Structure 1
Amino acid sequence: MNAPERPARRTLAAKFGAIGCTMLLLALAAIGLTLWVTWQLEGGAAAVNEAGRMRMQTWRIAQALAADGPAAAAPVVERFDASLALLRRGDPARPLAVPRDAASLQALAAVEQRWRQLRADWQAPAGRLGPEATARQAEAFVASIDRFVGAIERQLARWTTLLNSAQFAMMALAVAAAVALLYAAQLLVFSPLARLQEGLARVESGDLAARVAVAGNDEFGAVAEGFNRMAERLQSLYGSLERRVQVKTEHLETERARLAALYEAAAFAAQADTLQALAHGFAGQLCRVARADAAAVRWSDEHNRRYVLLASDGLPEPLVEAEHCLPTGGCLCGQAPGDAHTRVFPLQDLRTGPSAAHGAGLCARAGFAQLVSVPVRLNERLLGEIDLFYRHPVTLHPDDRALLDTLASHLAGAMEGLRADALQREAAVAEERGLLARELHDSIAQGLSFLKIQAGLLRDEIGRGVPSRVVDHRLAELDTGVRESLSDVRELLLHFRTRTNAEDIVPALRTTLTKFEHQTGLPAQLTVTGEGMALPPDVQVQVLHVVQEALSNVRKHARAGRVWVEVQQSPRWIVSVRDDGRGIGDAALTSDETHVGLRIMRERAARIDAALEIENTPGAGTTVTLTLPPLQAAAGLENVAAHA
């Protein structure tokens, strides 16, 4: 059905134009009427004047006839005829016109008829009339002229009344026009404008339901319609804005809750010190965040063959016992690593059937209607799984999936962090054991080796029957070695490292060489060249142990006659231990478990980023060279400055 056509819009200009044109036409009509009446009055007045002139001409003619006869009156008669003709035809230029009413025209006709008779009598050749007769005829004719003038004056009086009425009508028209314009302005302008202002004030005060009545089909009507559409649009936008703000507020609140959950999960993961505590805490947090009725955290082995239940929250005890360990793929819980992702499983239809034999049926019989399975993945490795149980079906939105995946990532990172901490602790224990082994080797083991050698020499000398003074000397050396070993043990127990001078390693090297000479009887020479920066204490320890190990190898294997220790301090630290013994075999230079001393020296050199070189010349001795990097000197300078 077609909509009804709207009437053509009548503009304010058209309305005011119509009113103005009407007023203008009325004003023009009134003005034209007054002009026409004024013109008639002026013409009638001129006709009255001309009639008065005719009275005078009548009396002149009568006097001329009485005195001199018709010939003397002829010029005056002609002027009279001219005046009468002028009254008959009128003169627009003067103006002069006889009113066209019946009385005036009849009076003019009577004057003309009587004038024709009178002129005939006065111009007759029969003889002259007497003065009395001429005067009587002239007086009678003047009376007719007076009647003619009276008819004109009566008509002029009526025109004067009409003129006054027209003037009053013009005054009334002016007043009516002013009143009509004011009323039209009030009706067409001020009243619609006031309604628009009232509507604007209501909208400004917050009343978006305000509407303006459309009272016309003009510009103000169009503005009112536009205002109503604007108010309706604003009301719609405000209503939708409130809804959008409410939705946005709810979304922000949801995001805040999710961020809070992630923050709590991250904080808890950072504080958890064991895998069990981590799993228990995450299970409780997942129940609160996901609004689940129960939650389970499962761990998967390295090959993802099985899932072990680490912790649960809200699960019935029979279900916990039944699902303590699940084979991968044997139930809805425990996804295979190749296709593991967040899934939603309905459980209402699993009370009976093939799936009821294991976990799915147990979950359904326990009253759970839905299961959400979230894999715990770190990079490409599947570490476990999070299972959320619901007693009523829920809808898992994409944001909820993202939150669960993020929480699972936090759990995976925390699990990997605990694993890394465990490996780090294991590495630290291994490193401590290695350090203890090196310290034992460099201190007690060397002393015990010396004691073993001295005991063997003492046994041989006793067997050969050497003098008692030689035996006493060997016993004294054994006693010194035992005391030194005991001192090393005490120092190892108290400090677990060899003490060195904090600023200079040279005194410690001299002490080591003195001890070596006392134990072996071999001369040892220390040579120091250059002026270098002091080494840090931890570097000094490693350098000193390398030198001690090299000297121990000389004592055990070299069969040397002399030992040289050379120290170069600049441009970098280089420490070398050289002997003139028989050298060592090539097999001993390889790093294996049977040559502990060489391996420990290389480990110590690696700890301080130094280079260890062993030069072996069979029959001519061995040289062990330790070259330190330049950074060690800088570190030593900082250390010296710190002790200053």
Structure 2
Amino acid sequence: MKIFKHSIIARLGASMFAISLMALISMIGSVIVAESTQGDAAGINLAGSLRMLSFRIVSETQQYQSRPSLGMRAQAEETIKEFGKRINSPVMAEVIPETRDHQLYSQYKNIVLEWEQHLAPSLQLALQKGSDGGDDYIHNIEAFVPRIDKMVQLLERSTESKIKLLSLVQGISLFMTILIIFIAMLDIRNNVVVPLRQLVDMARQVSRGKLTSRSTYQSQDELGVLGRSFNDMAEELSKMYSHLENRVNQKTAQLRQSNESLQLLYETSRQFTRKDDICRRMIPVLKQLESITPVGPIQITLNEPNKKQHYRQISTQSLERPLDCSDQSCENCIVPQMIEAPQQTLALPIQTDETYFGEFNAQFNPANRPNQDQLKLIETVVENLSTALSLELKAQQKEKMSLIEERTVIARELHDSLAQSLSYLKMQVTRLQILREKDKPEEQINEVILELREGLNNAYRQLRELLTTFRLKLDKPGLEPALEATIAEFSDRLGFAIHFNYDIRHQSLSPNEEIHVLQLVREALANIVKHAQASDVAVLLTQKKDIIEVLIEDNGIGIPDNHEVKNHYGVIIMRDRASTLGGTLNLNNQAEGGLQVKVTFKPKQQN
């Protein structure tokens, strides 16, 4: 029985076997009954013929007694003999049961015994005596015929009982077959169709992503095992999907947090590089930092660089406007009431490798501490703030240095040109005063006056050059546009076009170096306009590896061989500028005529 609980195939096989067995039983029963009824019809006919032979014997015997003759006697004896032969026929023996207590067997034996012991002898006696034989045999035959009728009835009943048995066997077989088929169909419906339909529905729901359905079929057979396996699989898939959904949600939250962090870093870079009040730049960033990390309120104390004395405090939560607030319309840091401060504080210094700017303080709840990523984000924001403050400090220092350098340049220009000319004029005035006091000749006095006039002209020219220099601006980025404007200016003054070639890499020179190169070119062109008497001028700027070379060439009269030009103010100024650039100045007469001014130096950016 255990195998039928664990196997649908075994149950279906048993059902098919039972149906086949019922069919086989029905067939065997039919064959047995058919075999048992074989000869019953002949036996019934033969028994029925015995009754007719009984009446025939009586008739022939009576005819013989009334009209004795050998023919009639022979015929009557033949009929008697035929009756004996029929009653002892093998056909009758086959249809008579062998069971002694059977009623048909007793009836048959009584008839045979009655015939052989009484009727046959009485008939033979009647034939022998003839008309004197009497008619007692007639009464015996009349009593014998009902016994034959009863035997015939018993034979018919026996045959009918066999036919009824066949019908009963076939009916029982049919009923059992129908019952087995019904039980098999019910089992198939309950244990195959219903659970299979559930499994198919579950498979469809799983294919649509619904993992909540479960099989309710409980059995030890194949579909029960399949249902439990399907339930286990659905449960595992549900757990797996739930785990994957949790991981996706976690990754989504991490990506969202990373995106917010990147957005905060972008806002940090954008806000901290703005030219605005430090409070207006920092408060939006700090509030955004509070929104994506479990810290707040945040307070920043700014100190003088590398000093302990603080000059400003910035907080994301203030009940009143800070005293140092410069914008009365801003209310980014003002709140209606203070939030109860958590218990712990995160303190980070705002500093770079060179400078300390202050301290960053952020409060947080110990039960909700910032994680490592959030701490790294806070540190990055503080580092960006430190970098922004450091860049601002360096920009201020650079601006101060530029202003100091500009003033130094102005002082040097005044000292090297106009101040020396005025000193020379002062000496000439003193000389003129001495000559007038000593009543020197008029020629000497006029010579001094001419020198004074020339000195004044030189001083006036130098003053104009200085004014031009101080008013000169690099409106466009780079040295090349400024040189092109200078070349155009001096081309107009000379009356012909100056050849110009600029071959220096982009951003090779600093702004200060560009100013000195521009002034060197202007000074050399100014000397050409005044002294060279040239008809062709070229300005060439080239770069060979990390060396800048500036050439100003003309086809004029050149410089005297005695090199008196070395003491000329313009040459002195150009030498000072070349020295400031860390380079050299060379003045050389060209073989074909004219002068070549050559300045070579190495830019500081390349050092």
**Scaled by the length of structure 2, what TM-score is found?**
0.63
Correspondence 1:37 to 2:33: yes
Correspondence 1:47 to 2:43: yes
- Opposite residue 461 of structure 2, the aligned amino acid is E
Are the structure 2 counterparts of residues 147 and 575 from structure 1 closer, same or farther at C-alpha, using a change threshold of 3 Å? same
Correspondence 1:18 to 2:22: no
Correspondence 1:67 to 2:44: no
Q: Distance in 1 between matches of 2:252 and 2:211?
A: 23
- Opposite residue 466 of structure 1, the aligned amino acid is E
Determine helix, strand or coil for the equivalent of 2:347: strand
Correspondence 1:425 to 2:428: no
Q: Give the corresponding residue for 2:597.
A: 625
Match of 2:271 among 268, 272, 275: 268
Correspondence 1:547 to 2:524: yes
State the shift of 1:156 in Å.
1.5
Correspondence 1:87 to 2:59: no
Determine helix, strand or coil for the equivalent of 2:219: coil
C-alpha contact 1:369 1:392 (8 A) present in aligned 2: yes
Q: After superposition, give the CA deviation of every residue in 1:546-569 in whole Å (9 maximum; x if it has no partner).
A: 5269889x99xxxxxx99998457
Q: After superposition, give the CA deviation of every residue in 1:71-103 in whole Å (9 maximum; x if it has no partner).
A: 99799969965983523663xxxxx77686812
Are the structure 2 counterparts of residues 467 and 261 from structure 1 closer, same or farther at C-alpha, using a change threshold of 3 Å? closer
- Opposite residue 67 of structure 1, the aligned amino acid is G
Instruction: Identify which range, 264-273 or 55-64, moves more after superposition.
Output: 55-64
State the shift of 1:151 in Å.
1.7
Are the structure 2 counterparts of residues 135 and 584 from structure 1 closer, same or farther at C-alpha, using a change threshold of 3 Å? farther
1:386-535 equivalences under 5 Å are 386-388=359-361, 390=363, 393=366, 395-433=369-407, 436=410, 440=414, 444=418, 448=422, 463-466=440-443, 470=447, 473-474=450-451, 476-478=453-455, 480-481=457-458, 483-485=460-462, 487-488=464-465, 491-492=468-469, 494-495=471-472, 507=491, 510=494, 532-533=499-500
State the shift of 1:417 in Å.
1.5
Are the structure 2 counterparts of residues 383 and 470 from structure 1 closer, same or farther at C-alpha, using a change threshold of 3 Å? closer
Q: Give the corresponding residue for 1:600.
A: 577
C-alpha contact 1:447 1:484 (8 A) present in aligned 2: no
Q: After superposition, give the CA deviation of every residue in 1:30-55 in whole Å (9 maximum; x if it has no partner).
A: 44334433333333123224445667
Q: Distance in 1 between matches of 2:406 and 2:273?
A: 26
State the shift of 1:398 in Å.
1.5
C-alpha contact 2:18 2:180 (8 A) present in aligned 1: no
- Opposite residue 579 of structure 1, the aligned amino acid is I
Match of 2:552 among 566, 575, 584: 575
Are the structure 2 counterparts of residues 440 and 571 from structure 1 closer, same or farther at C-alpha, using a change threshold of 3 Å? closer
State the shift of 1:414 in Å.
1.2
State the shift of 1:153 in Å.
1.0
Q: What is the count of residue pairs matched by the alignment?
A: 529
C-alpha contact 2:53 2:79 (8 A) present in aligned 1: no
- Opposite residue 580 of structure 1, the aligned amino acid is P
State the shift of 1:282 in Å.
7.5
- Opposite residue 402 of structure 1, the aligned amino acid is K
Q: Give the corresponding residue for 1:155.
A: 158
Q: Distance in 2 between matches of 1:283 and 1:503?
A: 54
Are the structure 2 counterparts of residues 550 and 235 from structure 1 closer, same or farther at C-alpha, using a change threshold of 3 Å? same
- Opposite residue 33 of structure 1, the aligned amino acid is G
Q: After superposition, give the CA deviation of every residue in 1:142-201 in whole Å (9 maximum; x if it has no partner).
A: 765544333211211233333444455455445545544443344333444566678789
C-alpha contact 2:298 2:316 (8 A) present in aligned 1: yes
Identity %: 20
Q: After superposition, give the CA deviation of every residue in 1:121-151 in whole Å (9 maximum; x if it has no partner).
A: 4999999575988995888777655443332
Are the structure 2 counterparts of residues 73 and 44 from structure 1 closer, same or farther at C-alpha, using a change threshold of 3 Å? same
Q: Distance in 2 between matches of 1:106 and 1:259?
A: 120
Q: After superposition, give the CA deviation of every residue in 1:332-367 in whole Å (9 maximum; x if it has no partner).
A: xxxxxxxxxxxxxxxxxxxxxxxxxxxxxxxxxx99
- Opposite residue 484 of structure 1, the aligned amino acid is R
Match of 2:192 among 189, 194, 199: 189
Determine helix, strand or coil for the equivalent of 2:361: strand
Match of 2:347 among 343, 366, 373: 373
> Any unmatched runs of 5+ in structure 2?
65-69, 319-339, 475-481, 504-513, 543-549, 602-607
- Opposite residue 29 of structure 1, the aligned amino acid is I
C-alpha contact 1:107 1:148 (8 A) present in aligned 2: yes
State the shift of 1:208 in Å.
6.6
Are the structure 2 counterparts of residues 127 and 501 from structure 1 closer, same or farther at C-alpha, using a change threshold of 3 Å? closer
Q: Distance in 1 between matches of 2:404 and 2:448?
A: 44
C-alpha contact 1:108 1:148 (8 A) present in aligned 2: yes
- Opposite residue 32 of structure 1, the aligned amino acid is I
Question: How large is the RMSD of aligned CA atoms in angstroms?
Answer: 6.0
Determine helix, strand or coil for the equivalent of 1:625: strand
Q: Distance in 1 between matches of 2:314 and 2:444?
A: 85
State the shift of 1:602 in Å.
4.7
Q: Distance in 2 between matches of 1:8 and 1:107?
A: 54
Match of 2:299 among 295, 302, 305: 295
Determine helix, strand or coil for the equivalent of 1:466: helix
Determine helix, strand or coil for the equivalent of 2:216: coil
Determine helix, strand or coil for the equivalent of 2:38: helix
**Scaled by the length of structure 1, what TM-score is found?**
0.60
Q: Give the corresponding residue for 1:632.
A: none
- Opposite residue 295 of structure 2, the aligned amino acid is R
Are the structure 2 counterparts of residues 386 and 424 from structure 1 closer, same or farther at C-alpha, using a change threshold of 3 Å? same
Q: After superposition, give the CA deviation of every residue in 1:239-285 in whole Å (9 maximum; x if it has no partner).
A: 66676566556555554554454344333311266778878888777
Q: Give the corresponding residue for 2:328.
A: none
- Opposite residue 37 of structure 2, the aligned amino acid is L
